A and B are shown apart, each in its own frame.
Chain A
C-alpha cells in the first residue's frame, strides 16, 4: 500500500487544500480508504489525523470498507422518488439478497442509495459502477441481475 500512496503523493505538495483530491485519488486506487491510509495522509500533509478523519467522514463520497465488484447506486432523487424508486430498491434487495448499505459476502455486490445522479428525465434509475441504467421497473431489475443463490 505504501508504494501506491507514495506515487499519489508525488503529484502534490502536502497543502491543506489538496486533502480532498488526495483522498479521492487514494479511494480511486484502492476502492475505499484502507486502514492506515488516513494516518499516512496526515503525516504527508503534516496535519493531525483527526483533521483528515474530519474531512474524510464529512463527505459522502468516502468509504472505509470495500464495495462490491458491482457497486449499485440506487437514485433516490425527487423525480425517481415520484416515479417509484422505493419499489425498485425493494425489488433489487429481494433479487440479489443485499440490502442498502451492505456488501455481499463474496464481494460481488454492494448497494447504496444516492441523492441524485442527474438523469431525472429517465427515472427511475440506478448506476452500476459507472453505467447508468434508466427507465427501470421490477421486471427490468430481474433482467439485469440474476436471482440470489439460495444459501441454506
Chain B
C-alpha cells in the first residue's frame, strides 16, 4: 500500500504541475475521434505550435461523449479556464493555436464551452450546454480528461481509492455496500449485482472466477467501448474489488475483437497495474491474490450471454447451457463464476470510493444510480451520455439530444438493441429505468437509444432486428433457430409486398412461442422488436398487408420510387423525370397527364410531397420535381399539344358534383372518362373553386388554370356557373335528377379570432379579400395592413395586399416562430423578399375600434413554452407586454371551416362541421351521396383534394354499375421503364438542384404577373439526370429491363 501512496502523491503533484507549468492541449483520440480525423488534427496542432516556437504539452485523451462535435480539442493556459473546442479540422486547428495559444484569445466561434473556474466572454460553461446540463457524469467523469494510458492520471483523480477501501473491508461487507447502493446489472437484465455476488461467495470452492463482459454486441451501443478506451483502470479496479468480494483469484476480460483500441488499452493498463502491485499475488500488500487476463471475442453476438461467453473462453462454440446450475454456482470450467458488465464494474469502484448512500442519491426508486446511454439515430446531438435513472425520453431526445434532425416529428425510440423494442412518440414521457421499460414490452438493455422519425418503417425495422437475431442465433435450440428464421421470413415477405392479413397475428403468436421456448436470452428476447412494433404500429403493418402501402416510403418492392408512392394521385414522377432526362418531352407530358388533369395547376402550386420523400434529398437536395413538371407542361403548351382535342361525350349515368374546386374537377374528369354524364355546379361566376379565387393569380395565372379547365371540359364534363345549390336548385331536387352526387364545396368560412371588437369595420377575413381580388371586385383597404396567421392563406393575403393599389405596409402577426410556420418555405421567402414584415411570437388580443371602425389592434408578445404532444412548443403570453399596431385593415387568416347550409339535417357531420364520410370510400350516410376534399377534411392541400376526387370517382363508378363499393389497392408501378443514364464524373461533382428563380421584386406589382420563372431546358435536363431512379430497383423493374433488352425472362 505504501508504494501506491507514494506513487499517488507524486501523481497528484504532477497532475497539478501539468496545468501550471505550460499550456496544455488535450485531443480526443479514441475510436470516434480518430474516425472523425482527430489524429490529423493533433498533428496539425503540434506542427503549428512548433512553427510558432510555443512550448505546449500535448496529451491524447479519450471521449467526452459528444460524438456529433468530434474531433474535440481542449486548450488550457496556466491560470485560465480550459476551453473545449468542437468540430475541429486541420484548418481551425491552426487558427486555435494562433489565437488561443499565441495571443491568449480563445476562438469563441469554435468553442463548445469552458471548464473550471473563471469564464471567457461569449463562451458558456461546457456543463451548462444543453447536451451536458441534464447529465450526471460519474462513470464517464474521467473520459476525455485523462490520458487513458497513464496510471498516474488515474491515481491523481482518485483512482484505486475504492480498492484501498475494499481491501480493508471483509468481503461480505463489500457485498452489503453494493446491496445498499442498489446497483443492478448494467449489461441488460438489470439483476441486482449483490445477489449474484452473494450466491457465488457462498458457493464452496477454492477456485472462483470473475469475468468482465466486454462483448458489447448490441448494434447501436458503444458505451462499454468508450469506457474501456478512455478510462480502463476504472474497470480493472472494479474487477479486483469484485474478485475480493466473491473470493476469486483470477479475472478475465472478454472483449470483442472488433474493439482493437480497447484491447490495446486494457492490455497496457493491466501491465501497468501489475508493475505497481495492484495486480498480482499480493494486491497492494493485502495478501489477496488477483490476476487478470484478456480474452478476445471472435464475432458472435450470442457470446454476450453468460453461459455462451463461458463456453467461448473454454474454447468451444458459443452455445448457451441450461440453467440451473447458474454460473455463480457452476460456471467457467465448472467453478463458481461471476460475470459482470463493464459499466457495472466501473460503478463498483465508485460505490466503494464514495459510499452506497452517495450512489443511491440519484435515480428512481427501484433503479438507483446513473446509467450511460448511446443516443443515436435521427437526433441532432448524437453521443454517449450519462444520466440519472428515471430521466424521461423527452428530456433525452429534446434537451440532451437537441431534438430531431430537420425538426421532423418523432416516430419512436428503440431501446435495448435487438433484445428490446420500440416506444412510440405518444409515450415520450416514460421515465427511463428498468421497470418502466419492461412494462412497455421493451428492456433497458445495455443502454442504446435509437431515435426514429417518419422515414423509418416500423415493419422494415422489425425485419432488420429479426434478421440480426437469425444470423446470430447459435442454432442449438429449435424455437430460436427456426423461430427467428420464420419470423424474419414473414417480415421479409411483408416488406416485399407479399404479406397477407393473417400474417400479423401469426407474428404475434409465433413471437410469443419463441420467447417461451428458447433456451437463452437471445431467443427469449429476439421477438421483442416485432412484438412491440405490432403493439404500437399495427396500422402500419396493416397498411403493408391490406393496402400495399409503406407510409415511410422504405419498402422498395412496395413503393417502387418514393416520389410515386408519396404522390396522393399516383403520378409517375420517376417515369416522366426519366423521359425529360432523355429530352422526350411530349412523352413526359403524356405520363403526367395520364394521372393528372390539372397539370398547369399542380406544376405551380402543389406542395410536392414527392420531393419530401425524394431519396436524393436524404444526402443533398431533393430533385426539383414540381419544377420539372412545369417545364414539361409549358413545353407541351408551346408545342401546341395541350389542351388536347374535344372528345365525344358518352352518355351514361347522370352524376352531379357540387363545387368546381380541385376535388370536384378531378372527380368530374374521372367520371366522364368512365363514360358517365357529369355536371359540375359552381355557385361563383368563375370555375376552379380555391384555384380561381383563393390562390392568387401571381402564383397561378388565370390562363394557366383555364387551359386545365378546358382539358377537363373537353373530356365531356359540363360545368354550370352561377348556380347555388340550396338557392337555385334544392338538394332534394338534385337527388331526384342525378343518380349520384359528389359534394366538394371546400372549407372557406373564416374562423373567428375570438377577441373583442372583431366585427368592427375594417376587419376583413383574408379569404374574403382574396376572393374579391380574384373576382375583380372593388377593394378599399387603406395603407397599413396586418394579417393574422402563419399558413398559406396568410402569406397569400399578405403578398396580394402588397400588390393592391394604395397599400404601403403589410405585416404578418404570427404567434409562433418561423420554424413553426405551416406555410410553404418558398412562399415565406418570397413574401420577405417583397417587403412583407413578419412579427413572430405575437398574438392579437383586442381590436381597437372607434365608432365601430378599426383603428388598430392590441397585441401581446409570446414566448415558446414546453413542447406539446405534437412536438411543437406552445406559445405562452408574456405578462405586461401589450403593444399597439395602428392599422387600416386587419385580415384574420387563422383557419377556415366547412359550411354547407344546403345539406339536409339528415346528413352526418363531424363535430368540426365537416361532412362525415367513410375514410376508404368517401360515402356519406345518405344513399348515393359522396363527399371529398376540404369539406370532409377541413383545410388541406390541392393535391389531397384531387386525390379525394379521384378515389371518390372510382367509388361512384362502382356504385353506378351496381358493384360493391369497396376500395381495391394495387401497387403503384411505372408504366414504362427507361434504363438509367450514366453521369460523367463532372456531373457527379457539380450536379445540384437548380434554384427556382422569380422575377425581380420591382416587377412584382400586379396580381396577374406570374412571379416564378420556370427552368430553362438545359437546367431541366441536368436536374432530371440527377434523379437516382429508385424506380429501377424493384424486381418488377429488373424483369422489365431484361425483357426489353431481349433476354429470356
Set of chain A residues within 8 Å of B471, measured between Cβ atoms: 115
Whether A20 contacts B384 in the complex (CB less than 8 A), given A60-B300, A84-B618, A119-B32, comes out as: no
Cβ-defined contact, B376 with A116, below 8 A: no
- Cα of A15 to Cα of B376 in the assembled complex, Å: 42
Whether A116 contacts B219 in the complex (CB less than 8 A), given A15-B315, A21-B296, comes out as: yes
In this complex, which of B216, B258, B298 has the most chain A Cβ atoms within 10 angstroms of its Cβ? B298
The digit string for B983-1004, where 1 denotes a CB below 8 A from any CB of A, is 0010010000000000000000
Whether A55 contacts B317 in the complex (CB less than 8 A), given A20-B298, A122-B67, comes out as: yes
Say which residue of A15, A82, A131 sits within 8 Å of B450 (CB atoms): A82
Q: How far is the CB of A142 from chain B (nearest CB, A)?
A: 6
* Partner-binding segment picked from B51-59, B148-156, B220-228, B359-367: B220-228
Cβ-defined contact, B452 with A60, below 8 A: no
Asked whether A132 is an interface residue with its Cβ less than 8 Å from the other chain, the reply is: yes
Asked whether B615 is an interface residue with its Cβ less than 8 Å from the other chain, the reply is: yes
Cβ-defined contact, B296 with A118, below 8 A: no
Q: How far is the CB of B463 from chain A (nearest CB, A)?
A: 11
The digit string for B278-321, where 1 denotes a CB below 8 A from any CB of A, is 00000000000000000110111100000000001111111000
* Partner-binding segment picked from A2-10, A64-72, A99-107, A133-141: A133-141
Asked whether A125 is an interface residue with its Cβ less than 8 Å from the other chain, the reply is: yes
Say which residue of A16, A62, A114, A119 sits within 8 Å of B35 (CB atoms): A119
Q: How far is the CB of B293 from chain A (nearest CB, A)?
A: 10
Set of chain B residues within 8 Å of A116, measured between Cβ atoms: 217-222, 258
Set of chain B residues within 8 Å of A84, measured between Cβ atoms: 618-619
By size class, the interface of chain A is 35 or more
Whether A20 contacts B988 in the complex (CB less than 8 A), given A78-B219, A121-B382, A122-B35, comes out as: no
Asked whether B937 is an interface residue with its Cβ less than 8 Å from the other chain, the reply is: no
Cβ-defined contact, B468 with A121, below 8 A: no
- Cα of A5 to Cα of B383 in the assembled complex, Å: 43
Cβ-defined contact, A120 with B296, below 8 A: no
Set of chain A residues within 8 Å of B468, measured between Cβ atoms: 115
- Cα of A51 to Cα of B296 in the assembled complex, Å: 19
Q: Is the interface of B mostly helix, strand, loop or mixed?
A: mixed
Set of chain A residues within 8 Å of B225, measured between Cβ atoms: 118
Asked whether B721 is an interface residue with its Cβ less than 8 Å from the other chain, the reply is: no
Cβ-defined contact, B376 with A123, below 8 A: yes
Asked whether A29 is an interface residue with its Cβ less than 8 Å from the other chain, the reply is: no
- Cα of A133 to Cα of B32 in the assembled complex, Å: 10
Asked whether B895 is an interface residue with its Cβ less than 8 Å from the other chain, the reply is: no
Q: How far is the CB of A4 from chain B (nearest CB, A)?
A: 20
Cβ-defined contact, B318 with A79, below 8 A: no
Set of chain A residues within 8 Å of B456, measured between Cβ atoms: 82
- B464 closest partner in A (C-beta): A81
By size class, the interface of chain B is 35 or more
- Cα of A81 to Cα of B468 in the assembled complex, Å: 12
Set of chain A residues within 8 Å of B417, measured between Cβ atoms: 78
- Cα of A131 to Cα of B34 in the assembled complex, Å: 8
Cβ-defined contact, A78 with B298, below 8 A: no
Whether A24 contacts B219 in the complex (CB less than 8 A), given A119-B32, A121-B384, comes out as: no
- Cα of A118 to Cα of B474 in the assembled complex, Å: 22
Asked whether B70 is an interface residue with its Cβ less than 8 Å from the other chain, the reply is: yes
Set of chain B residues within 8 Å of A77, measured between Cβ atoms: 219-220
Cβ-defined contact, A61 with B67, below 8 A: no
Whether A20 contacts B36 in the complex (CB less than 8 A), given A78-B414, A121-B383, comes out as: no
- Cα of A115 to Cα of B450 in the assembled complex, Å: 15
Whether A79 contacts B315 in the complex (CB less than 8 A), given A115-B217, A132-B31, A134-B36, comes out as: no
Whether A60 contacts B298 in the complex (CB less than 8 A), given A118-B259, A120-B382, comes out as: yes
In this complex, which of A15, A58, A80, A139 has the most chain B Cβ atoms within 10 angstroms of its Cβ? A58
Asked whether A17 is an interface residue with its Cβ less than 8 Å from the other chain, the reply is: yes
Asked whether A148 is an interface residue with its Cβ less than 8 Å from the other chain, the reply is: no
Asked whether A46 is an interface residue with its Cβ less than 8 Å from the other chain, the reply is: no
- Cα of A105 to Cα of B776 in the assembled complex, Å: 74
Asked whether B448 is an interface residue with its Cβ less than 8 Å from the other chain, the reply is: yes
Whether A24 contacts B298 in the complex (CB less than 8 A), given A120-B222, A138-B619, A139-B988, comes out as: yes
Set of chain A residues within 8 Å of B258, measured between Cβ atoms: 114, 116-118
- A76 closest partner in B (C-beta): B219
Q: How far is the CB of A85 from chain B (nearest CB, A)?
A: 10
Set of chain A residues within 8 Å of B31, measured between Cβ atoms: 118-119, 132
Asked whether B68 is an interface residue with its Cβ less than 8 Å from the other chain, the reply is: yes
Asked whether B377 is an interface residue with its Cβ less than 8 Å from the other chain, the reply is: yes
Cβ-defined contact, A78 with B220, below 8 A: yes
Say which residue of A23, A79, A81 sits within 8 Å of B382 (CB atoms): A79
Set of chain B residues within 8 Å of A49, measured between Cβ atoms: none
Asked whether B118 is an interface residue with its Cβ less than 8 Å from the other chain, the reply is: no
- Cα of A96 to Cα of B374 in the assembled complex, Å: 33
Whether A82 contacts B452 in the complex (CB less than 8 A), given A21-B296, A121-B32, comes out as: yes
Asked whether B620 is an interface residue with its Cβ less than 8 Å from the other chain, the reply is: yes
- Cα of A113 to Cα of B259 in the assembled complex, Å: 16
Set of chain A residues within 8 Å of B295, measured between Cβ atoms: 20-21
Asked whether B260 is an interface residue with its Cβ less than 8 Å from the other chain, the reply is: yes
The digit string for B582-605, where 1 denotes a CB below 8 A from any CB of A, is 000000000000000000000000
Asked whether B13 is an interface residue with its Cβ less than 8 Å from the other chain, the reply is: no
Can you give 6 A-B contacts (C-beta < 8 A)? A62-B299, A78-B218, A82-B377, A116-B258, A120-B220, A134-B35
Given contacts A20-B312, A120-B222, 18 further A-B contacts (CB under 8 A): A16-B316, A17-B313, A17-B315, A18-B315, A54-B317, A59-B318, A78-B377, A79-B220, A79-B374, A82-B376, A82-B456, A115-B472, A116-B220, A116-B222, A120-B448, A121-B67, A125-B35, A134-B35
Binding site for A on B (CB under 8 A): 31-32, 34-36, 67-68, 70, 216-222, 225, 257-260, 295-296, 298-301, 312-318, 374, 376-378, 382-384, 414, 417, 448, 450-452, 456, 461, 464, 468, 471-472, 474, 615, 618-620, 985, 988
- A-B complex: 8 closest residue pairs judged by Cβ atoms: A121-B67, A77-B219, A132-B35, A60-B299, A116-B219, A59-B298, A78-B220, A79-B376
